[in-house]
Amino acid sequence: MADVVVGVQWGDEGKGKLVDRLAPNYDFVVRFQGGHNAGHTIVAKGKTHALHLIPSGVLYPQCQNVIGNGVVVALDALVQEMQPFGDLKGRLFVSDRAHLILPHHPMQDVHTESTQSAIGTTKKGIGPAYQDKVGRVGLRVGDLREPKLLKDKLAHNLSAHANTPDLPTLNALEDYLNTYAPLILPYTTDTTALLWEALDHGQKILLEGAQGSMLDVDFGTYPFVTSSTTIAAGACSGSGLSVKDIDKIIGVAKAYCTRVGLGPFPTEDLGQVGAYLREKGHEYGTTTNRARRCGYFDAAAVRYACRLNGCSEVALMKLDVLDGLKEILVGVGYENASPSLEEAKPIYKRFKGWKNSAGVSDFNALPKEAQEYILALQELIGVKISAVSTSPQRENMVLLP
């Protein structure tokens, strides 16, 4: 069977640490959507690893890592990310159905973000690449195998972007792809068939989401969303597995909340608490180093996201960042609620703060107030909290029975 890990806030929940901790129990770790706009940070043996496209199982030699068909791939970014890991043959597989981010896609992204249509993207070309995919003019990784057809498809793509300023020439795009194709093609395969075969042989698969449910293109705070399906349903369409193959769905949430980019964020704190969380939690983007907007846990949003995903359990991350606050607020509902949350005003419940949760790995050793907070969140979101992270280190995780 396959299990799924998804974010149930606005991304940056700590999915990388959770997947890294779970990975030894799986044969395959699969990234199923997004691109190198996402970032998963893992701290292991005192070393920090920032991953963008490569799945978080890469730190374990026994894990095979798959970039699924639902991902959009920037070849230069992927090659650069692969370099620190040496030879990944037999451990990294890239779907031949995954779409390519071409050099003009980031240019389009930058142009859009300079207009009134800006939503605060990472300007990596993710949205334009997905637009080409849906518009049926995109190129896929597997096209790199067929140079003649590739040239025709490039020409077709360029004609669709004829009005794009400073559009690269056909020769320039061919040179770009010819540079990276020999480096990527050895890792390219039909990853869906690979995963089907793995399941047929009783192997275990972990599907790793990027971003968060509140950024889902259908169910998030539209139009301030990402361009892919970030919820558990996207794990099937982005990998080729069926819904019958899915067992557990593990939601990941921070013990507070953050958001990057523009868009509604009902529980955002623009004062001292928000600044405290940002600095103590090192809330700066893995991909862009942008300061994240910070605020209190939004139980209403997480409850919605858990229902949307069908979460069987939730991992609560970065509890230790709340250490030292005298009072902690939790959003339990809204006034003026709407699907976009544009005018939503949070209704808060107040909790007494605590100290000294950092590094604790036993629930009973946590401060009493922290225990009460965890149990209250569990009741508010309606899903069991199965694990609580108390530091960036791999081993500092409280497991709840």
- Residues belonging to the binding site for Mg(2+) are 12, 39
Residue found under tokens 């996201």: 305
Whole-number Å distance between alpha carbons of 6 and 125: 23
Q: What residue numbers does the annotated binding site for substrate cover?
A: 286-292
Q: Measured at the alpha carbon of residue 256, what is the angle toward residues 211 and 23, in degrees to the nearest 5?
A: 50
Q: Of 3, 20, 36, 40, which residue is the catalytic one?
A: 40
CA distances (Å), origin 303, targets 69, 251, 256, 382 = 29, 11, 14, 7
Q: Of 99, 105, 123, 133, which residue is the catalytic one?
A: 133
Q: Of 12, 132, 143, 298, which residue is the catalytic one?
A: 12
Whole-number Å distance between alpha carbons of 372 and 365: 13
Q: What residue numbers does the annotated binding site for IMP cover?
A: 12-15, 37-40, 122, 136, 211, 226, 290
Our answer to whether residue 323 is catalytic in this structure is no
Instruction: Of 83, 72, 82, give the one whose Cα is nearest residue 217.
Output: 72
Instruction: Of 305, 326, 318, give the one whose Cα is nearest residue 398.
Output: 318
Contact 363, 398 (CB under 8 A): yes
Residue 92 DSSP class: E
DSSP letter string over 296-332? -EEHHHHHHHHHHHT-SEEEEE-GGGGTT-SEEEEEE
Our answer to whether residue 166 is catalytic in this structure is no
Which ranges constitute the DSSP H helices of 135-260? 147-160, 170-184, 191-200, 233-237
Query: For residue 223, what is the enclosing H or E element?
Result: none
Residue 59 DSSP class: G
Our answer to whether residue 40 is catalytic in this structure is yes
Q: What residue numbers does the annotated binding site cover?
A: 11-17, 37-41, 122, 136, 211, 226, 286-292, 318-320, 389-391
Q: How many residues does the chain have?
A: 401
Residues labelled catalytic: 12, 40, 133
